[in-house]
Amino acid sequence: MSDYRSQSRSGGGRGGQEYSNDDDPPMSRLFIICNKAHTEEDFREAFSPYGEIEDIWVVKDKHTQENKGIAYVKFSKTSDAAKAQEEMNGKTIGKMDRTLKVLVAANRNQGSNKSENEQEKYVRLFIVIPKTATEEDIREEFSQWGDVESVTIVKEKNNGNPKGFGYVRFTKFYYAAVAFENCSAKYKAVFAEPKGSTRTQRDQYGRPSEDNPLYSSSGRGNSNFNGGGSSSGGGGSSSYNNDWNVSQNNDMAAFLRMQNVPVAQPSCLEVNVSNCVNQDQLWRLFDIIPGLDYCQIMREHGPRTNEALVVYDNPEAAIYAKDKLHGLEYPMGERIIVKVNGMSSARMDTSFIDKRTKKDAICNVPLPPTQPLASPDDQVAQRLFIVLSANLPHSILKNIFSCWSGLIDVYLLPNKNCGYVKYAEVESAQLAIRTLNGAEICGTKIKVMEAEERSGSDGDDGGRKRLRRN
DNA sequence: CGACGGGACGC
DNA sequence: CGACGGGACGC
């Protein structure tokens, strides 16, 4: 959804031929400089071995009808076009004297732009990369599609922190095309614009990039947090199990699986701490008190302070932690502020007394055990809209919603207490609504409902509009 | 030498 | 009662 694929003007449907969008998929149309004597059939014969052809157009002079010696061949698949381009460039068709020059066609509205080393445009992918991935990880992942010439992870110039995106350069257009078509959707791979070029339009909604002062919330690129001292777990970068799914493996998930252990109400603390204290240090500090379930720096709270969420599996531990750590100078000269989060103390007392057995310490309703996630490539079967009464860390939400199988993604809108959850299974989404709507997570109330269609989508299902007939 | 036709959804 | 993310390269 919302990628270039949906912008093709194919009406869908059967029967009638569609006029394919020239740039869908990208780089799938070839521009051929040839002999005036070449016919459409010549090109069909020569190029159809490489894959399905959507359109062949031999350009003629408007008035004289004479061939201009150029032609366009549009393939269905980028990789087929790539193969054809590489193999047919410089070849001749039949007994023609002239060798073909085969290039990837430029966008319709920009006309001829020969100049830059042609290949530059076709061999590089621009991808979204998790901040913890190394260039070696990416090279290994993308080498399965072809020879990788280089990987570049873009970093902040000041501190060297990764910016979350980068480039993979292949040795051939064909390899880049295969990687583009087959790599996981989480990379959001697109062909990279050549270095100096002005970027094309961003997305169909917003403007290119409005700087949001809510970016570098966690002081030091400490990205995601894996619970206790558990070492970073950079391990198997095999298939899908890297940092997008990191919360699958952490202590919290393990904790949630211990569903048979009766536990008391969870208790959350809100902590303000100097931004020179990192995630790990903060965890160690609060882990002095037994019962720590969760500890995460959430956002900036002031120029030199962060706000963190700390969760214990019982109220006594939380109260004890508050008594002992509130006002502590850590480090020297920087006081830690600890207060009870989410629920009023009255409510806390109630839950303290009301010790019914719960399946876990995070949510006030029973939850099934953690289920497998869907891959980011899977199709969204249902999207939910969630509203929180206060912020919760993404990893907690992900863990909660992964109690039903086929979770694809959870995200909160920046600066708001609402967001979206995507499932690959309608049934899971419905169960999540039934179970979680109105529940509390760490004392934060949550509403869960079906999301409205985003406006302006070409939604091809559901709606009452769009009866198509023939 | 080398850059753009044909045809036309469904409100 | 809250509604749509992320991603352009030290010229």
- Nearest protein residue to B7's C1' (by CA)? A19
Nearest nt to the A109 alpha carbon by C1': B4
Does the pLDDT of residue A313 top 50, yes or no?
A: yes
Nucleotides of B under 7 A from a protein CB: 1-7, 9-11
Q: Residue A112 burial (CB < 10 Å; 0-12/13-18/19+)? A: exposed
Domain architecture of chain A: domains with CATH:
29-107 (3.30.70.330), 118-191 (3.30.70.330), 267-340 (3.30.70.330), 382-451 (3.30.70.330)
Strand C close to A108 by CB, under 7 A: no
pLDDT at position A367: 87
Q: Which of A132, A269, A156 is nearest to A215 (CA)?
A: A156
Please give the model's pTM, rounded to 2 decimal places.
0.60
Q: Percentage of chain A with pLDDT > 70?
A: 70
A108-116 long-range contacts (CB < 8 A, ≥24 apart) are A108/A22, A116/A194
Q: Residue A101 is encoded by which pair of tokens? A: 């020059």
Nucleotides of C under 7 A from a protein CB: 2-11
Q: pLDDT by residue (tens digit) across A250-304?
A: 444 344 344 333 344 567 788 899 999 988 899 999 999 998 888 878 777 778 8
Q: Residue A330 is encoded by which pair of tokens? A: 């850590």
Measure A153 CA to C9 C1' (Å): 9
Q: pLDDT by residue (tens digit) across A50-105?
A: 999 999 999 999 889 999 999 999 999 999 999 999 999 999 998 888 999 999 99
pLDDT at position A348: 38
Nearest nt to the A98 alpha carbon by C1': B1
**Whether the Cβ atoms of residue A30 and residue A105 lie closer than 8 Å to each other:** yes
pLDDT at position A112: 66
pLDDT at position A198: 56
Most confident of A208-212, A295-299, A354-358, A414-418: A414-418
What residues are paired with A385 via a beta bridge?
A: A420, A449
**Which residues have CB atoms below 7 Å from chain B, the nucleic strand?**
A 11, 13, 19, 22, 31, 33, 55-57, 59, 62, 68-70, 72, 74, 101, 103, 105-108, 110-114, 465-469
Contacts of residue A146, Cβ cutoff 8 Å, sequence gap at least 6: A170, A171, A172, A174, A175, A176, A178, A179
pLDDT at position A125: 95
